[in-house]
Amino acid sequence: MTAVAHISFGLLPKVTLFGDRTPAKAGCFLRRRRSSSLVVLAMSTSSNSGVPIMVNSCSGNMGKAVIKAADSAGLQILPLSFGSAEESGHVIEVCGRSIEIHGPSTREAALASTYDEHPNMIVVDYTIPGAVNDNAETYCKVGVPFVIGTTGGDRDRLYKTVEDSKNYAVISPQMGKQVVAFLDAMETMAERSPGAFSGYKLQVMESHQAGKLDVSGTAKAVISCFQKLGVSFDMNDVQLIRDPNQQVEMVGVPEEYLSGHAFHMYHLTSPDETVSFEFQHNVCGRSIYAEGTVDAIIFLSKKVMLKAEKRIYNMIDVLREGNMR
Instruction: Kindly list the distances between the CA atom of residue 312 and the CA atoms of 191, 274, 299, in Å, as whole numbers in the listed order.
Output: 23, 45, 12
Same fold, 3-29+176-285 and 36-166+288-319: no
Closest CA to 167 of 143, 149, 135, 147: 143
**DSSP-based three-state secondary structure for 319:** helix
**pLDDT tens digit sequence for 197-221:** 999 999 999 999 988 878 888 999 9
Please state the rounded mean pLDDT for residues 4-29: 43
- Note the pLDDT of residue 215: 87
User: Is the model's pLDDT at 8 over the cut of 60?
Assistant: no
Closest CA to 176 of 295, 270, 74, 258: 295
In the predicted model, what is the mean pLDDT of the chain? 86
Please state the rounded mean pLDDT for residues 224-242: 96
Q: Where are the domains of the chain?
A: 3-29+176-285, 36-166+288-319
Is the separation of the CB atoms in 147 and 293 below 8 Å? yes
Residue 323: band (very low, low, confident or very high) from pLDDT cuts 50, 70, 90: low
Question: Catalytic amino acids?
Answer: 208, 212
**pLDDT tens digit sequence for 172-202:** 989 999 999 999 999 999 999 999 999 999 9
User: Is the model's pLDDT at 34 over the cut of 70?
Assistant: no
- What is the Cα–Cα distance from 117 to 299, expressed in whole angstroms? 21
User: Is the model's pLDDT at 238 over the cut of 50?
Assistant: yes
CATH of the domain spanning 3-29+176-285: 3.30.360.10
- What is the Cα–Cα distance from 275 to 282, expressed in whole angstroms? 23
User: Is the model's pLDDT at 25 over the cut of 50?
Assistant: no
Please state the rounded mean pLDDT for residues 149-155: 89
Which residues touch 2 (CB under 8 Å, ≥6 apart)?
Answer: 273, 274, 275, 276
Please state the rounded mean pLDDT for residues 160-171: 97
- What is the Cα–Cα distance from 224 to 231, expressed in whole angstroms? 9
Is the separation of the CB atoms in 299 and 46 below 8 Å? no
- Note the pLDDT of residue 46: 40
- Note the pLDDT of residue 212: 84
- What is the Cα–Cα distance from 240 to 236, expressed in whole angstroms? 10
CATH of the domain spanning 36-166+288-319: 3.40.50.720
Residue 35: band (very low, low, confident or very high) from pLDDT cuts 50, 70, 90: very low
User: Is the model's pLDDT at 29 over the cut of 80?
Assistant: no
User: Is the model's pLDDT at 277 over the cut of 90?
Assistant: yes
User: Is the model's pLDDT at 226 over the cut of 60?
Assistant: yes
Count other Cβ atoms within 10 Å, centred on residue 74: 12
Please report the DSSP string for 154-219 in residue order.
Answer: -HHHHHHHHHHHT--EEE-S---HHHHHHHHHHHHHHHHSTTTTTT-EEEEEEEE-TT--SPPHHH
Instruction: Kindly list the distances between the CA atom of residue 148 and the CA atoms of 151, 286, 297, 304, in Å, as whole numbers in the listed order.
Output: 8, 15, 10, 16
Residue 295: band (very low, low, confident or very high) from pLDDT cuts 50, 70, 90: very high
**DSSP-based three-state secondary structure for 16:** strand
Look up residue 256 and give its DSSP letter: G
Backbone angles phi, psi at 45, to 5 degrees: -60, 145
Is the separation of the CB atoms in 122 and 139 below 8 Å? no
**pLDDT tens digit sequence for 82-100:** 988 888 889 999 888 999 9
**pLDDT tens digit sequence for 297-309:** 999 999 999 999 9
**DSSP-based three-state secondary structure for 268:** strand
